[in-house]
Amino acid sequence: MPGTESLIGQTISHCLIVVKLSGAGEVCTRALDWSHRVPRLRGVLLVQAVALVFVALAPKAQAQGLATPPAAAASSSSSPADRVYRNGVIFTADARNRTAEALAIRDGRIVYVGSNQGVAPFVGASTASVDLEGRFLMPGLVDGHMHPLEAGVQLLKCSLNYESLTIAEMQQRIQTCLDHSASEDSNAWLEVVSWFQESMRPAGVKTNRATLDALKTTRPILVISSFGHTALANTRALALARLTASTPDPIGGKIWRDDHGEPTGLLEDSAYAVISDLLPKPTDAEYVAAAKAALKAMSRQGITSFLDAAAALESMSAFTAVRRAGGLTARAHFAPVIEPKEAGDLPGAVARVVAFAKQYDDGAIARLPGITVRNAKLFLDGVIAAPAITGAVREPYLINAGTAEKPHWVPGPSRGPAVYFAADALATVLVELGRAGIDPHMHADGDGAVHAALDGTEALRKALPTADIRPAIAHDEIVEPADFPRYKLLGTIPVLSFQWEKPAGDTLGLTNYFGPARMKILEPAGLLAAAGARIAFGSDWPVDKLDEWFALKVGVTRTNAPSAPPEYSGRLGDDPGLSREAVLRAATIDAAYELHEDDVTGSIEVGKFADLIVLDRNPFKVPAEEIAKIQVLETVVGGNIVYETSMVSGVR
């Protein structure tokens, strides 16, 4: 394995993923093995107020005084609600984080939020009345950054589900997939995804093609690691790809070899791209099936709105097909990518996004979930997720000037790659997007890229001081403290994947390259919040398994799971983390703000669409660690139940 220090500032080896930006070379970005399957990515998602009688359920709320007098009482008895919820703990995520006991829904909108007594007049003969029996209800989750089509494609594949497996368990899982697809042709590829290679048991155990050759099949098999930079092929797959002892390592890739020079089956980066290029691309029908699978997974987690943060044409088209068939169960927002190679014609690039909007955007948010194209994605750098260190940083990465035995880490020559868009080009494209009413969503991992994104936003604000544009900077894994206040000043939203804020290989692996001062402020969610930033949550699924509740838990604790290896115990850095209230707001009202739908979703307030979830436990009351175990019992979008378990239906 090449030393990771040699990768600083480089772009390909050891990368989580290589995104090919034609004309601009290749960049490494935190993403997964799906890039090769999606051409675009390879080329690299009032109503009047009625009685608002809130009941005191939290001491803080009590102190605020909850009894808000009815503003304009609706004639509730003459038009009963379609559905009411009673006897709950309702976290509203309104401006005062008030809690309530009951709510009423009519025609997909919330018409009452308040007490059990207050909701009574809304109950008519045809009203479905749900007794929550003290259960917790809150706004549906809004996921401000994910890659749903790619995630859905993975869901349909044979998956090792990011689990820590022994070789025997791995073989058994893959054999099961083979047995379940026994009707497949003997030449049909089996692609296996979400292999947590780094976590195989026992620690350090090695896999090779023999691991796969032992299976009862003649089919070619490719197993792709969840980090997206390694794959394992069986002998049949190597033969079909003509990878032999005499095949040189391709640029940006490595073929692992045995003592005789024969490929072992382990392939890195561009070396496995040689094989993955042989795999059939999903058909349109498979993309539609992938979109449906992704939506189903989202509903189970309680997601009612999402952003496809690098939307390929295939994604907009597949989700549109699902919407037309009446199957869209979450509000879908799409951010097509503007690539650095388009710097020569930025108005043309923006026009291309506007054309997508004309074709796919369904207009104003309505009761039934629709599609919007009101965001554009710009990658500004790579990643700083060890062992891939390709983020643009303000101060140089450290290098080892000593020996392996006696390391001595000193500032090296590299600050990572130049920010992918030059300052003037970034300013131009942001202003053009602003004029077109498109919110920029910028990928910036390193503090150099973050600084550039903030500078670009400053130019945008100067040019269009009154425009309601909501620029977002995704990831923000390291931010120069001087830039903390600029998020608030410039109205720029950090979109954070809270699950990264824990001791783990990808964070602690940076220690040598960053040094102690930067490690203290890695993943600075709490520091950004303290500086007044409005933080939105984005899962980045499928870079990680979709587990919103684990992510929200980490946002509070900044600790790994209790089952993690001992070297990953304790908190990450000095950042104070976020309060429970703050993580829930980030994944509801503040992400709704990011997606420009906070006027109609994101909180439980009269007049808004009834996008809500019921949970099996109260995230404010359980030990913080238990937030990770929360189960969603029911998911409602625009008043329609899109997911439910017997636990809620049973209490009706």
Contact residues for Zn ion, defined by CB under 5 A: 309, 540
Q: Which CB sits closer to Zn ion, 112 or 306? A: 306
138 neighbors 613 (Cβ within 8 angstroms): yes
The CB-of-377 to Zn ion minimum distance in angstroms stands at 9
The CB-of-644 to Zn ion minimum distance in angstroms stands at 30
Separation CA 463–CA 450 (nearest Å): 20
Q: Which CB sits closer to Zn ion, 144 or 282? A: 144
616 neighbors 630 (Cβ within 8 angstroms): yes
Q: Which CB sits closer to Zn ion, 309 or 388? A: 309
Separation CA 396–CA 540 (nearest Å): 27
Ranges assigned E (strand) in 229-369: 230-233, 253-257, 263-269, 303-308, 331-334
Q: Which CB sits closer to Zn ion, 147 or 486? A: 147
Q: Which CB sits closer to Zn ion, 200 or 496? A: 496
CB atoms within 10 A of CB 45: 29
The CB-of-297 to Zn ion minimum distance in angstroms stands at 17
The CB-of-453 to Zn ion minimum distance in angstroms stands at 15
Separation CA 580–CA 306 (nearest Å): 21
Please tell me what DSSP assigns to residue 337.
B
Cα three-residue angle 535-536-537, rounded to 5 degrees: 125
Q: Which three-class secondary structure state does DSSP give residue 266?
A: strand
Q: Which CB sits closer to Zn ion, 16 or 100? A: 16
Q: Which CB sits closer to Zn ion, 544 or 598? A: 544
First to last CA, the chain: 59
The CB-of-638 to Zn ion minimum distance in angstroms stands at 27
The CB-of-462 to Zn ion minimum distance in angstroms stands at 29
The CB-of-543 to Zn ion minimum distance in angstroms stands at 6
* DSSP-assigned beta bridge partners for residue 19: 27
* DSSP-assigned beta bridge partners for residue 231: 224, 267
Nearest to 141 by CA among 649, 631, 586: 586
Q: Which CB sits closer to Zn ion, 39 or 134? A: 39
> Cα-Cα-Cα-Cα dihedral of 303, 308, 313, 314, to 10°?
-40
Q: Which CB sits closer to Zn ion, 302 or 538? A: 538
Q: Which CB sits closer to Zn ion, 476 or 540? A: 540
The CB-of-78 to Zn ion minimum distance in angstroms stands at 49
Please tell me what DSSP assigns to residue 124.
-
Q: Which CB sits closer to Zn ion, 27 or 93? A: 27
Separation CA 281–CA 181 (nearest Å): 18
Nearest to 3 by CA among 321, 555, 399: 399
Separation CA 314–CA 154 (nearest Å): 15
Distance from the Cα of residue 639 to its chain's centroid: 25
Separation CA 409–CA 243 (nearest Å): 38
The CB-of-611 to Zn ion minimum distance in angstroms stands at 23
Tokens of 205: 């155990």
The CB-of-285 to Zn ion minimum distance in angstroms stands at 26
Separation CA 441–CA 609 (nearest Å): 25
Separation CA 477–CA 612 (nearest Å): 30
* Cis geometry, peptide bond prior to residue 524 (ω within 30 degrees of 0): no
Pairing of strands 158-159, 141-146: unpaired
The CB-of-541 to Zn ion minimum distance in angstroms stands at 9
The CB-of-275 to Zn ion minimum distance in angstroms stands at 24
Q: Which CB sits closer to Zn ion, 81 or 309? A: 309
In the numeric block, the tokens 């690539």 are attached to: 339
The CB-of-310 to Zn ion minimum distance in angstroms stands at 6
Cβ neighbourhood burial of 250 (10 Å; 0-12, 13-18, 19+): middle
Spell out the alpha helix ranges (H) of 408-501: 423-435, 447-463, 484-489
Residue nearest to Zn ion (CB): 540
Q: Which CB sits closer to Zn ion, 110 or 309? A: 309
Q: Which CB sits closer to Zn ion, 298 or 431? A: 298
Phi-psi region of 621 (alpha: psi -120 to 50; beta: other; left: phi over 0): alpha
Separation CA 490–CA 473 (nearest Å): 12
Tokens of 526: 């709490």
The CB-of-45 to Zn ion minimum distance in angstroms stands at 9
